[in-house]
Amino acid sequence: MKHEIINKQGATIIELKGEVDLENSPAARELLLKSIKDASRVLVDLSSVTYIDSSGVASLVEALQAAKKHNTVFALAAASEPTRRVLELARLDKVFTIYETVDAGLTD
Amino acid sequence: MSGIPPGGDRRDPRRIDRRKHPALSGHLELLSRMSGHLAVTLNIEETIQKALDLIVQFVKAEAGSLFLLENNDTRLNCKASVGPVDINGLILQADEGIVGQCVTGNRSRMVRDVSEDPDFDQSIDESTGFHTRSILCAPMNVQDTRVGAIELINKQGSDGLFSEPDLLMLQTLAAAAALAIHNARMAEELVEQERVSREIELAIEMQRSLLPRARAASFPVSGINLPAYEVSGDFYDYFELEDGRIYFSLGDVSGKGMDAALLMSKTASLFRCLGKTMHEPGALLATINKELCETAINGMFVTMVCGIFDPVSGEVRLANTGHEPPLVRAPEGTFRALPASAPPLGILPLAAGGEGILDETFRLGGGTLYIFTDGVTEGEIGNGRRMEVEGLMNIINEHSDRLVADQISAVVKRLQQTGKQRHDDITLLVVDDLASKPAGKTPPLLTRLTFRAEADELHRVREAVRQACERCGCTPELTQDLVIAIGEASQNIVRHAYKDVETGEATLEILHEKGILEFRLLDSAPPVDREKVKPVWPEVIKPGGLGVCMIHDIMDKVEFLEAPSGTGNLLRMVKYLENDADET
């Protein structure tokens, strides 16, 4: 897994890339939790995620819960097909705010 | 003078002769005009009236009428008339009067003085006030089919006598008119046939819509209905109740025509409607019986089997009214027949306060229930032999390791192999206790991969699954799902199985045969608590629980088997593949 962080229009955009599985979900978790502490608005760009497993999904859930505590706005954007399918199987596609594109997440 | 045969006297001075009769061009013109009219119209009434107008005008008769045979050729109906008296609609007996003699005897008549002809019927003149002096009459027929006759009355001008050329002309025109009428009738018949066949198409469509839609291969109930002719007197149906149980039924209406098809539709609708609220098969059949008896059609009845299957426990509650005994096949291969406990439906109302229709409750225990109509057991399989119950059991045994859909196909194939027109509908319904089925024969191995139970090995496991799925021709969507499921199952081994002990190895085996893709994950860790690997959607999201739920969502079957060495855990996951034509 690789990642990129961009600050744009007052939001922190975290772009996750590659496979977010058991091997690297701890890194993803750490990255997300840290951003939530530091930013008022966090957008996770999932467009380049080729695979995510339940541990990766759990990191996203944990980040969402932490964001609520910190009053940070937390949302997902541009979910790739594999990500979308796993969120759907995990019945979490309605739990997260998921924007069609990163830009849509920024302007909302 | 009467009854001059066609052709007449060769010495007749008025016989058509091209040199002596330049008026021949007039005959040809009339023939041409009439043929034109007759060729373009398919409307009988219009055709007849036009033809008669032209003939009367040409032959210079005072009146004319055209009679058609009807009512199985027992009477003549005047369909067109020209002249001072309108006799349209006049009905005569088929042999009445000169026209009747002409039609029944199939010969032309030229009567120059009707007062001297015994066949002449005065009554019409008396009632109409018309005075008939002479008659020219020619029969109309097409090949051997009599159609009617054209009659001309009272030649106008000169000597007031019809001539031989008049008769020849009338005969020629009558033949053309007969052909036109015949064609118009055929056209009407074709239109009617077309209408009826459209009606039948709608009926077929309607009946098809009453059958349940096919489900995934993992659904425990499936069936088939192949009508011998257009519509069927058989039916089957199944649907899920809110509690997850499945209501199913199969019926056979006596008879095979449209009446049987309509009664079939009624019975099938009653089952589907009543089944929503009446969850006792015996009571439901008793209610249908009452309804059918109230509106009985003499001599028609329905044999029916109906039951409820619980896919979790494998329990079946079944009632049989007069139907051929269904068969239950135990996993060991033994069969048991379930005879009817009541007569067919629609014959006798049940006595009030009686026992009603009894149903029987039993467990399939991993076995399979087969319900079928006599179209299956009495179906011909070659050399004049019928399939019989034994033949059906043999086919089932030969294909017992196959999916139910394949078993049904095998039965149908055997019944169709003679290539002859069948005379009875083929209907078969199968309830398969998939959940309690013992692990069957192992399908051929496609891939084996041994990996360290470490997170960095999971990518390799997923790639192996992806490649195997692609080799089996899985769709990209299914491949993605199966990669997710096996990814989660392998992840659970890494996270949980070896958590308290030194990490070991695990093996993934992927097996494939037609219709089945099987995954076996074997580890050598201490036995896992199987309660923990049941799919329970968590209140608090934890990755392990989520993974198990996802596996169960994707796979058709998930179970722990005894590990071969006696230690470790062996997780078996099965996916049934639809449209899986080729074995890998």
pLDDT surpasses 50 at B558: yes
B425 and B449, same domain (yes or no): no
pLDDT surpasses 70 at B516: yes
Instruction: Please report, for residues B158, B207, B357, B396, the alpha-carbon distance to residue B328 in angstroms, rounded to integers and kept in the order given.
Output: 96, 28, 21, 11
Cβ atoms of B339 and B357 closer than 8 Å: no
Please list, residue by residue across A62-74, b when 16 or more beta carbons sit within 10 angstroms of its beta carbon and e when fewer do: bbbebbeeeebbb
The DSSP secondary structure of B330-357, one letter per residue, reads -TTS-EEE---SBPPBTS-PPPTTS---
Q: What is the 3-state secondary structure (H, E, C) of B461-490?
A: HHHHHHHHHHHCCCCHHHHHHHHHHHHHHH
pLDDT surpasses 90 at B28: no
Instruction: Determine the straight-line distance between the first and last CA of chain A, rounded to whole angstroms.
Output: 28
Other Cβ atoms within 10 Å of B208 Cβ, number: 12
B406 and B263, same domain (yes or no): yes
Task: Please report the pLDDT score of residue B3 as a whole number.
Answer: 42
B458 and B424, same domain (yes or no): no
B217 and B345, same domain (yes or no): yes
**Residues within 8 A of A (CB atoms), B 520-539 only:** 537
| Maximum distance among all Cα pairs of chain A, rounded to whole angstroms | 34
Among residues B432, B453, B477, the one where a domain terminates is B432
Q: Is residue B195 part of a domain?
A: no
pLDDT surpasses 50 at B404: yes
Q: What CATH superfamily classification does A2-107 receive? A: STAS domain (3.30.750.24)
Q: Provide the residue ranges of all domains of chain A, joining segments of one domain with +.
A: 2-107
Percent of chain B residues past pLDDT 90, beyond the cut: 36
B159 and B126, same domain (yes or no): yes
Separation between Cα atoms, residue B327 and residue B484, nearest integer Å: 40
Could you tell me the CATH number of the domain that includes residue B234? 3.60.40.10
B280 and B136, same domain (yes or no): no
Cβ atoms of B392 and B413 closer than 8 Å: no
B475 and B357, same domain (yes or no): no
Could you tell me the CATH number of the domain that includes residue B455? 3.30.565.10
Give chain B's mean pLDDT.
Answer: 84
Separation between Cα atoms, residue B54 and residue B482, nearest integer Å: 84
User: What band does B581 get if pLDDT is binned at 50, 70 and 90?
Assistant: low
Name B140's bridge partners: B148
User: What band does B6 get if pLDDT is binned at 50, 70 and 90?
Assistant: very low
User: What band does B539 get if pLDDT is binned at 50, 70 and 90?
Assistant: low
Q: Is residue B400 part of a domain?
A: yes
Instruction: Please report, for residues B77, B97, B99, B114, B267, the alpha-carbon distance to residue B105 in angstroms, rounded to integers and kept in the order given.
Output: 17, 12, 10, 18, 55
Could you tell me the CATH number of the domain that includes residue B135? 3.30.450.40
Which residues on chain B are in Cβ contact (under 8 Å) with A20?
none
Which residues on chain B are in Cβ contact (under 8 Å) with A89?
481, 484, 549-550, 553-554
B228 and B312, same domain (yes or no): yes
- B510-529: average pLDDT: 86
Q: Is residue B203 part of a domain?
A: no
Task: Please report the pLDDT score of residue B495 as a whole number.
Answer: 84
Residue bearing the bigger pLDDT, B242 or B1? B242
Task: Please report the pLDDT score of residue B348 as a whole number.
Answer: 84
Q: Is residue B439 part of a domain?
A: no
B289 and B423, same domain (yes or no): yes
Task: Please report the pLDDT score of residue B25 as a whole number.
Answer: 63
Pairing of strands B505-513, B516-523: antiparallel
Shortest CA distance from B541: residue in chain A = A58
Q: What is the mean pLDDT of each run of 10 residues along chain A (108 residues)?
A: 91 95 93 93 96 94 92 95 93 91 90
Among residues B171, B186, B201, the one where a domain terminates is B186
Interface A-B: count of C-beta contacts within 8 A: 63
Task: Please report the pLDDT score of residue B8 as a whole number.
Answer: 39
Residues spanned by the domain of B538: 445-576
Residue B330 tokens, joined: 């135990």
B405 and B516, same domain (yes or no): no
Who contacts B392 (Cβ-Cβ below 8 Å, separation ≥6)?
A: B327, B370, B372, B376, B377, B411
User: Which of B454, B550, B551 would you mutate first to test chain A, the one with the most A CBs within 10 A?
Assistant: B550
Domain count, chain B: 3
pLDDT surpasses 50 at B26: yes
* Closest Cβ opposite residue A22 in set B481, B483, B494: B494
B67 and B179, same domain (yes or no): yes
B424 and B452, same domain (yes or no): no
Model ipTM value:
0.93
Among residues B410, B432, B454, the one where a domain terminates is B432
Q: Is residue B1 part of a domain?
A: no
